[in-house]
Amino acid sequence: MAPTETLAPPRFGAATALRCRECGAIDDLSPTHACRNCFAPLEIGYDAGALATVTRASVERGPASLWRYAGLLPAPAAELRVDLGAGCTRLVRADNLAMALGMRRLWVKDESSNPTHSFKDRVVALAASAARAFGFRTIACASTGNLANAVAAAAARTGLRAVVLIPADLEPAKVVASAVYCPTLVAVDGVYDDVNRLCSELAAEYPWAFVNVNLRAFYAEGSKTLGYEVAEQLGWRLPEQVVVPVASGSLLTKVDKAFRELGELGLVEPTPYRVFGAQAAGCSPVATAYANGWDVVRPVRPATIAKSLAIGNPADGPYAVDVARRTGGAIGSVSDAEIVDGIRLLAATEGIFAETAGGVTVATLRRLLRAGSIDPDAETVVLNTGDGLKTVDAVAPAVGPTAVIRPSLDAFVAAGLGEENR
């Protein structure tokens, strides 16, 4: 439902329409997410001529945020854009991790430095900007945690009301990191899929901008900026392999879309690349579909420490499988114990403390390497989508003090703590 005070359709830069991903039907840009003909998901369509005006130089002249790519996005007028500084996160050359895994060239795209410490600030920037352009006064979402943080922060910054719904068993740090912005925070007794279903019902009743329901087409385009940024930071070229955590599957499909668009527009040489997905074994419907050769992703009931990836009925799951197959990649899954090991390995080798989704990605990279699915000699980028301080409870049982001693030199020496440095 759109707010009644919207008098004229807003403009969104090069974006011109909504296009059905299945039947190809075209509709006006509006706060709707499903094709009126076949009910399939919608995505943004663009004016090819307008996109062609974007150059490397015009991007590089842009702000140090995701809005440097405004010419490639459904970007409303500058005064309506929500900008908390998301984007331009670091791309870390991970030589230590590469050595530990037996790889030649490895990079970690570290999204933990975004305003609310996850990549979700990117998608919310696009969705909240669209909400303002359409005249909404309330933004809302169903979230496994990171999105709730990002929506609450964006609302606080822009003066919008925020309504965020989360599973009741969410990590305490993510609950606090949403509540501190004073949104209407609703904990739902159920898993994410129950929360999402409720939000779909609420979206039909209230004039609110649900960023991952009625504004999903705009929201999803924000993930493209992660792909654009990787290519720009590599010197305007594509990596040979990329490993992406999979929840709904949207991030994986949009990174692929970003790489394809850059090649089509001549902003990079359109070299081949392979896309790999990473899931937790306790919620791996997309990995299961890939492994079994299914075209349909069958829903599951999540049971994993990787709560940010715990979507049992992923909206973009089939499209993620398609991308992996088309590019010669794969989608794997790992156990909770492997996730913890992945978090610890990344921290110990590169000084990056990832949340559980990052542990899933690193652990899946290691598993796919051992299976021979990933080429260890090909340049590879892995995505760390959030900050480990949000999911401390997952790794806390596996780490702790090396020793507990009395406050004396004798006690330190007796514990053998200085022997390695003599």
Strand partners, 276: 243, 330
219-269 pLDDT, tens digit each: 999 999 999 999 999 999 999 999 999 999 999 999 999 999 999 999 999
Residues 254 and 139 in one domain: no
Integer Cα distance of 1 and 3 in angstroms: 7
Which pLDDT band, with edges at 50, 70 and 90, does 418 fall under? confident
328-351 pLDDT, tens digit each: 999 999 999 999 999 999 999 999
Looking up tokens 């990832």 gives: 354
> What is the predicted pLDDT for the residue at 9?
80
- Tell me, yes or no, whether 5 lies in a domain: no
Q: Which helix (H) or strand (E) holds 343?
A: helix 336-350
Which pLDDT band, with edges at 50, 70 and 90, does 6 fall under? very low
Range of the domain at 211: 15-82+120-219
Integer Cα distance of 189 and 6 in angstroms: 35
137-156 pLDDT, tens digit each: 999 999 999 999 999 999 99
Integer Cα distance of 245 and 255 in angstroms: 11
Q: Are 148 and 154 in contact (CB under 8 A)?
A: no
Is 287 strand, coil or helix? helix
> Reading across the β-sheet that carries 91-93, which strands appear in turn?
91-93, 106-110, 380-384, 241-245, 274-280, 330-334
Q: Give this prediction's pTM.
A: 0.95
Domain end: 192, 219, 246, which one? 219
Q: Which helix (H) or strand (E) holds 185?
A: strand 184-188
Domain end: 219, 244, 271, which one? 219
Say which residues have a Cβ less than 8 Å from residue 121's Cβ, sequence separation at least 6: 84, 86, 87, 114, 115, 150, 153, 154
DSSP output for 267-331: SS-----EEEEEEETTB-HHHHHHHHT-SSPPP----SS-GGG--SS-TTHHHHHHHHHHHT-EE
The CATH number of whichever domain residue 31 belongs to comes to 3.40.50.1100
* pLDDT at residue 369 greater than cutoff 50: yes
- Tell me, yes or no, whether 403 lies in a domain: no
Residues 303 and 252 in one domain: yes
- Tell me, yes or no, whether 408 lies in a domain: no
Residues 43 and 95 in one domain: no
Give the single-character DSSP code of 41. Answer: B
> What is the predicted pLDDT for the residue at 7?
54
- Tell me, yes or no, whether 173 lies in a domain: yes
Residues 143 and 187 in one domain: yes
Which pLDDT band, with edges at 50, 70 and 90, does 196 fall under? very high
158-173 pLDDT, tens digit each: 999 999 999 999 999 9
Residues 342 and 293 in one domain: yes
Integer Cα distance of 360 and 352 in angstroms: 14
Q: Are 123 and 67 in contact (CB under 8 A)?
A: no
> What is the predicted pLDDT for the residue at 422?
60
- Tell me, yes or no, whether 2 lies in a domain: no
Residues 237 and 145 in one domain: no
Residues 140 and 109 in one domain: no
> What is the predicted pLDDT for the residue at 420?
67
> Reading across the β-sheet that carries 26-27, which strands appear in turn?
26-27, 15-20, 42-46
Q: Are 204 and 225 in contact (CB under 8 A)?
A: no
Residues 73 and 44 in one domain: yes
43-85 pLDDT, tens digit each: 999 999 999 999 999 999 999 999 999 999 999 999 999 999 9
- Tell me, yes or no, whether 3 lies in a domain: no
Both structure tokens of 309 = 């990836």
Residues 297 and 373 in one domain: yes
> What is the predicted pLDDT for the residue at 151?
98
Which pLDDT band, with edges at 50, 70 and 90, does 33 fall under? confident
Residues 262 and 215 in one domain: no
Domain end: 179, 194, 219, which one? 219
- Tell me, yes or no, whether 7 lies in a domain: no
Largest Cα–Cα distance of the chain, in whole Å?
78
Residues 351 and 203 in one domain: no
User: What is the chain's mean pLDDT, rounded?
Assistant: 96
Residues 318 and 377 in one domain: yes
- Tell me, yes or no, whether 416 lies in a domain: no
- The length of the chain in residues reads 422
Looking up tokens 């929500």 gives: 82
Residue 2: what residue type? A
Q: How many CB atoms lie within 10 A of CB 327?
A: 18
> What is the predicted pLDDT for the residue at 397?
95
Q: Is the dihedral of CA 318, 114, 366, 261 positive or negative?
A: positive
Cα angle 338, 343, 344; round to 5: 95
Count of structural domains within the chain:
2
Q: Are 217 and 240 in contact (CB under 8 A)?
A: no
